[in-house]
Every structure is written in C-alpha cells, then in structure tokens.
Amino acid sequence: MPEMIPADSVGLVTAQTMRFDDPLQLECGRVLAEYALIYETYGELNAQGSNAVLICHALSSDHHAAGYHSMDDNKPGWWDTCIGPGKPIDTRHFYVVCLNNLGGCKGSSGPATMNPETGKPYGPDFPVVTVKDWVNSQRRLAEALGIEQWAAVIGGSLGGMQVLQWSIEYPDRIRHAVVIAAAPKLSAQNIAFNEVARQAILADPEFHQGRYYEHDTQPRQGLMLARMLGHITYLSDDSMRAKFGRELREGKLNFGFDVEFQVESYLRYQGRAFVEHFDANTYLLMTKALDYFDPASQCGDSLSLAMKQVTASFLVVSFTSDWRFAPSRSLEIVKALLDNNKKVSYGEIEASQGHDAFLMPIPRYMELFSAYMARVVEEVR
C-alpha cells in the first residue's frame, strides 16, 4: 500500500456508473434494453471538450487504469505507468476516460449482473458482445460525458482493436488512434489458444452451463487453467527464461506432480489469484470478442479497403518479443494506413517481455509514446 501517493500519480480516484436505458442493438442481432457502464476519469475536460482521451482495456482489465481507490490499495490502476502528470498520457493536459466494457465483471453490465427480465444474473444469457458493440456503447458514454470527439483513443492488445474499430466506425469522432501490441484480427493459432481456454471453462463441472452463480459456485479450475495458458502467451520465451529459467522451487526434483519448477509455482499462483477477482462467463465473452474481430472481413478481406474512410492520425507500436501479436501483425495495420495515404507513426520497440511489454515502463516506449502524445497536446491548445 502506498504510504504516500507518488507525485506523478493521478491520486485517489473513484469510479462512477452511468446507466443507459436507450436500447443498444448488438451485432449478434439481440438488443440490450438497458445497461450500465462503470468508468473512471482523470484530469479535467476543457471548456471546448477537446482534450478527452479514451482508454480501451484488454481482455482481463477494467476501468481502473490509474491512481488508487484508497490509501490501503497496494497497487495502482493497470496502466498507471502511462497515465498521470508527466506521463505519456499526461493528465495535466488530458481528460482521460476509461470504462469497464459491456460483458465485463467489474461493475458494467455483464453475465454476473442482474438480468432485468428474470431478476437473476444473466449468466449465459448475456449476449455475445463484439468490439463493434463496445465501441457503440463507448460512443454513448462519450455523448453522456459531453465529448463529441476524442483527442485520442488509446489501447493495447484487445484495447488496440477497439481503437481500430473507433477509427473505422466513427472517423469524425477520433483525431488520434494509438494502437499498441495489437493485430487487425486473430490468427488461427490465437483462436486455438482461446478455444482451449474456453473448453477448460466449459468443461469444468462447476460451470453448470454458465449458471454457476445460482449454484453458489464457480468454475475455478477451468478459469485458472485458462489464465495459466493465457499467461504463457503474454510472456516471451526469453522473459520466462530470464525470470524462471529451470529453477527448482526446492532445489531438487521430487519425482511427483506437485510444484517443482519456479515457473509452475508462478503460473499456479497467477491462475489462483485471477480466479478470486474475475468471472468465467466474462472470460468467455472477452475471448469471443477477440476471435470475432476482423474489420477486413466486411471488405473482401482487404484491411486497406476497410480503413479507407479513416481520418485519424495513427501511432502504432509493437514489441520485438511479442509472439501473441508479433510486430508483423502491427505492420499489417501500418500497411493498410499507408495504402490509403493516412498519417501513421510506427515504433517497433526492442523488448524482451513479450506481449506484456505494452504495460511496462520501457524507456524507449515511454519516450515514443510521450513524444506522440505531446503532439496531440499541441493540437488541443
């Protein structure tokens, strides 16, 4: 817990909830009659409403991107390295908005919240939401907050996909797009990993067809396996080697199936910790949103065609050791932008941390990110 809040922190923050009762048409064909979105904001919206930045979160994060909820918090929001006074997303200049996406489990409407039609948790009846649905719901939140156009929409991984969708869907509402460690669609291998994770959850006897809330249980083992697997794909082979090597927890082989190698201990810990604060149905939904994202599919598989109407300027960032969404995947986005003569800056950051690098304060990355955002600030003034 922070004895004192660091000077470059946004400080103590409080989440707010916005309720919507105008029905939201979803891509799956269903309609959400009402829903709530939980969000946080950092910094002040200027009089012109021109300095707003939207942060889109990745698979398992939420609206709490920066600062502390209380003096007892032992860690800040998930992207505190990048959001705050003097940081790349400088809250002295920007009004930052971050929400928990629809289908989430941290306060926005999702499988664990009450279905007004039944008075019970939605469970499996919560619709399969897509990146496009999220962007539509984010647009409504923007309107409710008095933001007509984002100075920038920013996100890493699945968050970067939302940024892409914003730039395609609402070109007039986004001036800058910052797409970090993302891809314009999942590869078959990416989908395959998601499928194993989903099967782990669906096959857990405690899953009860997604109605585990009513059985007062949860598919802990399945969700734990899903997280362990996910975690492997977030780290690079090199970073795992550096972090764990083949170190044995007790210094010798046990010839049994308890934890032996440090990496096993770490993964089990990560898996167990995750289960304490995440919902399995939400995990299923988030992986589906990843699988489905493919804006080029509507344009004969041409991303260039899909991005023809884009007007935002782009910063695209990738990390050398990211094998989940390798630099070559970011370059597909860059190419589509260049095909259309759009403005794009691209940085491939030398980093050993794998996909997780996008969350880390790697100096070259912070410099590039800060320099780009400084240009955005210039325009706002």
Task: Please compute Rg for the chain using Cα positions.
Answer: 21
**In the complex with a second copy, which residue's Cβ is closer, 3 or 258?**
258
- Nearest approach, Cβ of residue 186 and a second copy (Å): 7
Half-sphere exposure of 340 (CA within 13 A, CB side): 22
Start-to-end CA distance of the chain, whole Å, equals 36
Which residues contact residue 175 at a Cβ distance below 8 angstroms, ignoring those fewer than 6 apart? 149, 150, 151, 152, 312, 313, 376, 379
The amino acid present at 189, given as its one-letter code, is Q
Q: Where are the extended beta strands (E) located within the chain?
A: 16-20, 24-25, 31-32, 35-42, 52-56, 95-99, 114-115, 120-121, 152-156, 176-180, 313-319, 344-349
**In the complex with a second copy, which residue's Cβ is closer, 256 or 363?**
256
Q: Is 301 left (phi over 0), alpha (psi -120 to 50) or beta?
A: left
**In the complex with a second copy, which residue's Cβ is closer, 153 or 285?**
285
**From the CB of residue 380, how many other CB atoms can be counted at a distance below 10 Å?**
17
- Tokens, residue 183: 């891809």
**In the complex with a second copy, which residue's Cβ is closer, 178 or 225?**
225
**From the CB of residue 3, how many other CB atoms can be counted at a distance below 10 Å?**
5
Contact residues for a second copy (CB under 8 A)?
Answer: 27-29, 127-128, 185-189, 191-193, 195-196, 198-200, 202-203, 205, 221, 224-225, 228-229, 232, 235, 237, 240-241, 243-246, 253, 255-257, 260-261, 263-264, 267-268, 271, 284, 288, 291-292, 294, 297, 323
- Nearest approach, Cβ of residue 107 and a second copy (Å): 24
**From the CB of residue 324, how many other CB atoms can be counted at a distance below 10 Å?**
24
- Nearest approach, Cβ of residue 110 and a second copy (Å): 16
* Residues forming a β-bridge with 2: none
**In the complex with a second copy, which residue's Cβ is closer, 58 or 275?**
275
Find tokens 């959400």 and name the residue: 32
**In the complex with a second copy, which residue's Cβ is closer, 314 or 325?**
325
- Nearest approach, Cβ of residue 207 and a second copy (Å): 11
**C-alpha distances in Å from residue 291, one per residue of 98, 190, 237, 366, 374:** 23, 8, 24, 29, 34
- Nearest approach, Cβ of residue 123 and a second copy (Å): 12
Q: Pairing mode, if any, of strands 31-32 and 24-25?
A: antiparallel
- Nearest approach, Cβ of residue 342 and a second copy (Å): 25
52 in Cβ contact with 95 (< 8 Å): yes
- Nearest approach, Cβ of residue 235 and a second copy (Å): 8
- Nearest approach, Cβ of residue 347 and a second copy (Å): 23
Residue among 160, 200, 98, 126 at smallest CA distance from 334: 160
**In the complex with a second copy, which residue's Cβ is closer, 121 or 271?**
271
Which residues contact residue 308 at a Cβ distance below 8 angstroms, ignoring those fewer than 6 apart? 340
Catalytic machinery residues:
157, 322, 355
Half-sphere exposure of 29 (CA within 13 A, CB side): 0
**In the complex with a second copy, which residue's Cβ is closer, 73 or 264?**
264
The amino acid present at 369, given as its one-letter code, is F
